[in-house]
Amino acid sequence: MISFESDYIAGAHPAVLKRLCDTNLESLPGYGSDKYCEAAKEKIKKACNLPDAQVEFIAGGTQTNAVVISTMLKDYEGVVAATTGHVSAHEAGAIEYTGHEVLTVPGHEGKMYASELKSFIETFYGDEAHDHMVFPGMVYISHPTEYGTLYSKKELSDIASVCREYTIPLFLDGARLAYGLMSKDTDLTLEDIANITDVFYIGGTKVGALCGEAVVFTKGNRPAHFLTSVKKRGALLAKGRLLGVQFDALFTDDLYFEIGKHAIEMAEKLKGMFRDKGYEFFIESPTNQQFVLLTDEQYDRIKKQVAISFWEKPDSTHTVVRLATGWSTSDEDLKELGQYL
Amino acid sequence: MISFESDYIAGAHPAVLKRLCDTNLESLPGYGSDKYCEAAKEKIKKACNLPDAQVEFIAGGTQTNAVVISTMLKDYEGVVAATTGHVSAHEAGAIEYTGHEVLTVPGHEGKMYASELKSFIETFYGDEAHDHMVFPGMVYISHPTEYGTLYSKKELSDIASVCREYTIPLFLDGARLAYGLMSKDTDLTLEDIANITDVFYIGGTKVGALCGEAVVFTKGNRPAHFLTSVKKRGALLAKGRLLGVQFDALFTDDLYFEIGKHAIEMAEKLKGMFRDKGYEFFIESPTNQQFVLLTDEQYDRIKKQVAISFWEKPDSTHTVVRLATGWSTSDEDLKELGQYL
Amino acid sequence: MISFESDYIAGAHPAVLKRLCDTNLESLPGYGSDKYCEAAKEKIKKACNLPDAQVEFIAGGTQTNAVVISTMLKDYEGVVAATTGHVSAHEAGAIEYTGHEVLTVPGHEGKMYASELKSFIETFYGDEAHDHMVFPGMVYISHPTEYGTLYSKKELSDIASVCREYTIPLFLDGARLAYGLMSKDTDLTLEDIANITDVFYIGGTKVGALCGEAVVFTKGNRPAHFLTSVKKRGALLAKGRLLGVQFDALFTDDLYFEIGKHAIEMAEKLKGMFRDKGYEFFIESPTNQQFVLLTDEQYDRIKKQVAISFWEKPDSTHTVVRLATGWSTSDEDLKELGQYL
Amino acid sequence: MISFESDYIAGAHPAVLKRLCDTNLESLPGYGSDKYCEAAKEKIKKACNLPDAQVEFIAGGTQTNAVVISTMLKDYEGVVAATTGHVSAHEAGAIEYTGHEVLTVPGHEGKMYASELKSFIETFYGDEAHDHMVFPGMVYISHPTEYGTLYSKKELSDIASVCREYTIPLFLDGARLAYGLMSKDTDLTLEDIANITDVFYIGGTKVGALCGEAVVFTKGNRPAHFLTSVKKRGALLAKGRLLGVQFDALFTDDLYFEIGKHAIEMAEKLKGMFRDKGYEFFIESPTNQQFVLLTDEQYDRIKKQVAISFWEKPDSTHTVVRLATGWSTSDEDLKELGQYL
């Protein structure tokens, strides 16, 4: 059965896997101190055009969010996210497990508004502010969001301005960053993101790696003894090379961007196929995740032939499903999908 | 420079890597629900001769210890370990991070004694027992230990008897289990370990995998909603196949045991080489880790030619170093090492 | 300046203080094992008409919520509260500090609806349920709520039915329970609450004690080794008598209910005074907390003469304030207040 | 039955209780913002001769240790204590509950040696130091110790020098500080302690208060938003006056020191009585806790007449017991005790 279930249905991109094979026999020191981690960091800094950035690799996305948020927040602070943000809704309580609250502002197709963020933060600074509430100590956004949508450069800058006004770091979760960067509807480059945010991560798991995310601290703000904090959270791999080699491959010859570009092209075609057959979209997504509104009959029929993800039930007779493309999505997959629509 | 620095200096065993390559293009569901995880679990249960065992995969060792200990302990309990146990000394506080104390009993070349364990636990049950101390809720041992030593079947059974007497689960950390099972000086089989302990893990990272440990709950005692607890701790990989495929390979055609056997043979040869040249051993280890007592001059000389691990300074003029063998250790490596002794 | 700022502006009710003085010189064992704790527990069980209840004393409200919630939840669970619930909004992250998420359902004048609670919980049990979210493991309500409102017997029973259907304990925060029980608009008795809920607490701090809350486990469901868990959270007083003596006094000669009755009478008079002068109420509260809608001019004027609590700004020209009555509120206080309206 | 079970068997010192009664009817703001908290802080700063000290009140000792340690440690750090230190052994895991490890150095009659502390800390700074262990981020000592012993000024200064050398704060747990300050065998004044340590607490619960400890940050080092962190840990009392009024009384007319002096006099007499009758002491304690070595027959006989604390069994036929004096110990109590020896 063909699958559009997610962007992590296949193994590694062939070029990533090849690099793992090519380097497999080398003796390397552990815990991320090997030369491939080093090389990958350099390549990422170059891609960000930010020579002073500090790059660290962590195995998975939930883990990355938990590690970054909990090491950067102060004891009395929480992280602000959109109600639909991954850390608010889909992390099984991983942020709260670190002892910190997730504070929420409204989500608009996955995005937060700078104006609403500002209003929210302001309430902690007024005349009547008091110490009985969790203080907003970081702003978390995902880009693309959980609904595939993207912030414009202006929107991101506006959020960053609010953050700067209150000296709160802005953290961008880029689990699917490649798909945002290569969307036709974006004016944000990797360099922009590195400049505008305080910390962000470049997702590998959902963009051609077997596992791994690259955290980029953009302002010399990596927490002290970060390695120890990572280990304390169980997030340090003995064979750190596994992450270094993969990211080295992803940032060689623009592979990371090529993967993004390919998935976007496939998503555009997929979108066209659904549209041509008269399906409605639940949301207008410019990235690799597409959210289609199906009647329950359509849903029951299609899911027998194609692996897709249930998303939500907007009413009693419809179902929203998600289809995702990735590095392994092929024209043949799309053709077969077309037969079942 | 040749390296005996650890048993995680190389990538994956070629057969493991081959399996990753062979299955790379398959579309598989995420989070460990794929068929390779399923197959690997079945093979592990068979190798343990324990059809009702519950097997779960986790990416790394510290993480596995933290997840198993914190999901099995009750709120008011701590875990008992030898003072030299990995969880006591080398995990950067990962157990305490889960809110639980590590209680210690003396370590004897890495091992705890059943008699001392019993005395320790008894103090919580006497007339004068009270509720102001952390209750021992699990016993943690590593096998092989951090010093390469092994429990005999009788020693392990005696510890298990103490545990059973007080209804405390026994957890065996098998990060290097293969090397214990294939040692010439052991009378413990994998089946014995599955029968005697309540939960243990079969280490992959240090035995030919890129990452991954297989936790075996032997008595139907896997904590409820274990997947959610794993995710909450950031320990759930989206591409769970990465662990399933590797363990499927490790438990096909006895590869896991073959790797152990090879490393033990290499360690025996290495031991002989040091002995022949008159070096003393800090500890008599029957497994793949060897601890050699060097003068500081010897240490300074050898470490320029061979990557080895500093272990400790027993006095002001000597240094204990560790050399480890693994799947990738070759006769050529040993030959070269011999030149520098 | 007279104060209606809160129900904890004064010290202890004179009868409570007298009991502390009368027993002060007695030698008593520590940590709540004294005879006054014992006697108070018996009196509370009797007042609840629940001989098998288990009663425990904890010093403060936030602490009580954190201890009860975190010792009763399983690792993978969170607590469900109304968005306006104390644990959601006003506890400085104390629940999250225990590693658990607060899940929210809409608040309606401080209350949750059984129907909305049911819909929320149902999403965790459907076909598409999955393990990536925090499972609802307890329902938390406050009675009176943070807005002074009360559940009717039917409303409480309906919520309890939902809880029972899904085997989720219902926890009632009774920080101000006396004021709910003695309201003219309630059909719920203490006995009802003991029967309907799984655990609740009888607030002392806000009802005449210097500090202290009495937790009542109604179904034999007190967590094992509760004392150790309380101490682990820093919530165990060495001189446990401080809590036992006070609750013994509060539950002698119906003092707890008398205090509630007095405060309600004072609140009714206060309400009448505001109403007579044409003020509007932000919410119709039948208990000791009254929420008045003031123009900003009125607010600025009144707060110069009377200590009152800022609550929120519903628009740019108005302010909602809270006035609370308690055991120490007198007719003289009300008379003086009247002069400033 | 007379009791020497602990120094918290009685209620409050009469002068403390009187102050609670005298101020009971006053309307005061909550959470420690009242004038008595303010006055008590000023008096404590004066007693320490440290006008810039920052003083905060917390209800209990375990809580104080947990709050101070966890708010002052960095994420990757643990606290160093003697193996016999309260935080190592008697706090039910309260420190680990905050996610931090307690690192131990040997205890010598309850005290740590500066030389051993230095050796321990040095191991984290050498050539072979690495990031896989918990870093020592605070040194915790108790004074008097759990065995009633005291540091000399030189010993305390030496420990402080080690701390300063490595920029690690020194925290002194003064749960029984008064008894240390008024011992005949001390050369340390309150002023010395304030000067030498970085943070310490002045115990109230065991020195005449119903509850309450006063934390003194001596170097402008109170953690930011400390109140929020206190509340987050459930340690903030709504009626903060309860602590403020008591400490105001304790630091009026040298009451705190008078209580200490009285208890020491009683302890000296008690010690003489035991010595005269030929009993041996387990440890030579110069403070209010006395540790007597009894045969098991003596223990069984005496404990029927006098409440005393079991301490430990040094061998199979002896028992060590603790007797403590306090503000309420009288000559009559001693006389009666004498009859049973």
- Tell me the ipTM for this assembly: 0.96
What is d(CA B142, CA B148) in angstroms, rounded to the nearest whole number? 9
- Partner A contacted by B193 (CB < 8 A): no
Residue C68, pLDDT > 70, answer: yes
- Percent of chain D with pLDDT strictly greater than 70: 99
Say yes or no for a CB contact (<8 Å) between A234 and B3. Answer: no
Residue with tokens 């950035």, as numbered in its chain = A53
Say yes or no for a CB contact (<8 Å) between D11 and C2. Answer: no
Q: Which residues of C touch A131 (CB under 8 A)?
A: 92
Residue B196, pLDDT > 70, answer: yes
Nearest-CA distance C245 → chain B (Å): 22
Nearest-CA distance C76 → chain B (Å): 5
Q: Which of A76, A77, A132, A236 to mutate to test the interface with D (most CBs of D within 10 A)?
A: A76
Mean pLDDT over C273-283 rounds to 97
* Model confidence pLDDT, tens digit, residues D114-125: 999 999 999 888
Instruction: Give the strand order in the sheet containing B309-315.
Output: B280-281, B289-295, B318-324, B309-315
DSSP alpha helix (H) spans, A153-312: 153-165, 177-181, 190-196, 226-232, 241-250, 255-276, 296-302
Across chain C, mean pLDDT equals 96
Nearest-CA distance C128 → chain D (Å): 35
Mean pLDDT over B151-165 rounds to 98
- Partner D contacted by A131 (CB < 8 A): yes
Mean pLDDT over A37-49 rounds to 98
Mean pLDDT over C264-286 rounds to 97
Say yes or no for a CB contact (<8 Å) between D232 and A135. Answer: no
Q: Which residues of A touch B37 (CB under 8 A)?
A: none
Joined together, the tokens standing for residue B72 give 């099995």
How many other CB atoms sit within 10 Å of the CB of residue B294? 20
In order of C41, C60, C247, the CA distances from C15 in angstroms are 18, 20, 11
Residue C129, pLDDT > 80, answer: no
Nearest-CA distance A99 → chain C (Å): 4
Q: Which of C72, C130, C228 to mutate to test the interface with B (most CBs of B within 10 A)?
A: C228
Q: Which residues of A touch B235 (CB under 8 A)?
A: 60, 63, 234
Say yes or no for a CB contact (<8 Å) between B9 and A21. Answer: no
Joined together, the tokens standing for residue C279 give 């003020």
- Partner C contacted by D316 (CB < 8 A): no
Among A residues 40-99, those touching chain B with beta carbons less than 8 Å apart: 59-63, 65-67, 91-94, 97
Q: Which residues of D touch A101 (CB under 8 A)?
A: none
- Read off the DSSP letter of residue A34: S
Q: If residue D294 lies in a helix (H) or strand (E), which one and from where to where? A: strand D289-295
Say yes or no for a CB contact (<8 Å) between A99 and C99. Answer: yes
* Model confidence pLDDT, tens digit, residues B276-301: 999 999 999 999 999 999 999 999 99
Residue B313, pLDDT > 70, answer: yes
- Partner C contacted by B315 (CB < 8 A): no
What is d(CA C279, CA B206) in angstroms, rounded to the nearest whole number? 74
Contacts of B249 (CB under 8 A, 6+ apart): B13, B15, B16, B18, B19, B20, B255
Nearest residue on chain C to D68, alpha-carbon basis: C234
Joined together, the tokens standing for residue D77 give 């750090």
D31 vs B130, which has greater pLDDT?
D31
- Percent of chain B with pLDDT strictly greater than 70: 99
C–D CB contacts, 8 A cutoff, strictly below: 163
- What is the value of pTM for the model shown? 0.97
Residue D127, pLDDT > 80, answer: no
Residue B128, pLDDT > 80, answer: no
Q: Which residues of A touch C132 (CB under 8 A)?
A: 90-92
Residue D88, pLDDT > 80, answer: yes
* Model confidence pLDDT, tens digit, residues D253-283: 999 999 999 999 999 999 999 999 999 999 9
* Model confidence pLDDT, tens digit, residues C281-320: 999 999 999 999 999 999 999 999 999 999 988 999 999 9
Nearest-CA distance B122 → chain D (Å): 13
Confidence of residue B88 (pLDDT cuts 50, 70, 90): confident
What is d(CA B206, CA B239) in angstroms, rounded to the nearest whole number? 21
Q: For chain C, which chains pass the contact test of at least 3 CB pairs under 8 Å?
A: A, B, D
Nearest-CA distance C305 → chain A (Å): 18
Residue B129, pLDDT > 70, answer: no
Residue C128, pLDDT > 70, answer: no
Considering only the beta carbons, identify the residue of B30, B60, B93 that sits closest to A237.
B60
* Model confidence pLDDT, tens digit, residues A109-122: 999 999 999 999 99
Residue D35, pLDDT > 70, answer: yes
Nearest residue on chain C to A94, alpha-carbon basis: C99
Nearest-CA distance A12 → chain B (Å): 7
What is d(CA C195, CA C203) in angstroms, rounded to the nearest whole number? 18
Q: Which residues of C touch D9 (CB under 8 A)?
A: 27-30
Which pLDDT value is given to residue B80?
97
- Partner D contacted by A125 (CB < 8 A): no
Select from B337, B331, B325 the least CA-distant residue to B8.
Answer: B325
Considering only the beta carbons, identify the residue of D71, D135, D225 that sits closest to A135.
D225
Q: Which of A96, A102, A299, A321 to mutate to test the interface with C (most CBs of C within 10 A)?
A: A96
Considering only the beta carbons, identify the residue of C133, C134, C232 that sits closest to B76.
C232
Q: Which residues of D touch B98 (CB under 8 A)?
A: 99
Q: Which of A9, A228, A243 to mutate to test the interface with B (most CBs of B within 10 A)?
A: A9
Nearest-CA distance D275 → chain C (Å): 26
Mean pLDDT over D10-21 rounds to 98
Dihedral angle over CA of A124, A125, A128, A134, nearest 10: 20
Q: Which residues of A touch B94 (CB under 8 A)?
A: 231-234
A–B CB contacts, 8 A cutoff, strictly below: 164
Q: If residue B255 lies in a helix (H) or strand (E), which one and from where to where? A: helix B255-276
Which pLDDT value is given to residue B86?
86
Q: Which residues of A touch D70 (CB under 8 A)?
A: 75
Residue with tokens 């202006």, as numbered in its chain = A154
Dihedral angle over CA of A295, A298, A300, A301, nearest 10: 170
Residue A130, pLDDT > 80, answer: no
Considering only the beta carbons, identify the residue of D92, D99, D128 that sits closest to B96.
D99
Residue C103, pLDDT > 80, answer: yes
Mean pLDDT over D4-28 rounds to 97
A91-95, C38-42, D240-244: least confident range: A91-95
Select from C274, C330, C320, C314 the least CA-distant residue to C294.
Answer: C320
Q: Which domains does chain B have, with CATH numbers?
A: 2-7+255-340 (3.90.1150.10), 14-250 (3.40.640.10)
Which pLDDT value is given to residue A89?
79
In order of A95, B215, B229, the CA distances from B67 in angstroms are 16, 10, 8
Considering only the beta carbons, identify the residue of D90, D92, D101 that sits closest to B93.
D101
Q: Which residues of B touch C238 (CB under 8 A)?
A: none
- Partner C contacted by B304 (CB < 8 A): no
Considering only the beta carbons, identify the residue of C70, C134, C224 that sits closest to B74.
C224
Which pLDDT value is given to residue C127?
64
**β-bridge mates for residue A171, sequence order:** A140, A199
| Paired sense of beta strands D289-295 and D280-281, if any | antiparallel
Residue C183, pLDDT > 70, answer: yes
In chain A, the DSSP E strands lie at 2-3, 54-58, 77-82, 102-105, 135-142, 170-174, 199-203, 213-217, 280-281, 289-295, 306-307, 309-315, 318-324
B24-38, C122-136, C247-261: least confident range: C122-136
Nearest residue on chain C to A312, alpha-carbon basis: C128
Contacts of D253 (CB under 8 A, 6+ apart): none
Mean pLDDT over C3-32 rounds to 97
**β-bridge mates for residue C315, sequence order:** C318
How many other CB atoms sit within 10 Å of the CB of residue D301? 14
Q: Which residues of D touch A74 (CB under 8 A)?
A: 224-225
| Paired sense of beta strands D309-315 and D280-281, if any | unpaired
Q: For chain A, which chains pass the contact test of at least 3 CB pairs under 8 Å?
A: B, C, D
Which pLDDT value is given to residue A129?
62
A83-92, A191-200, A272-281: least confident range: A83-92
Q: Which residues of C touch A102 (CB under 8 A)?
A: 101
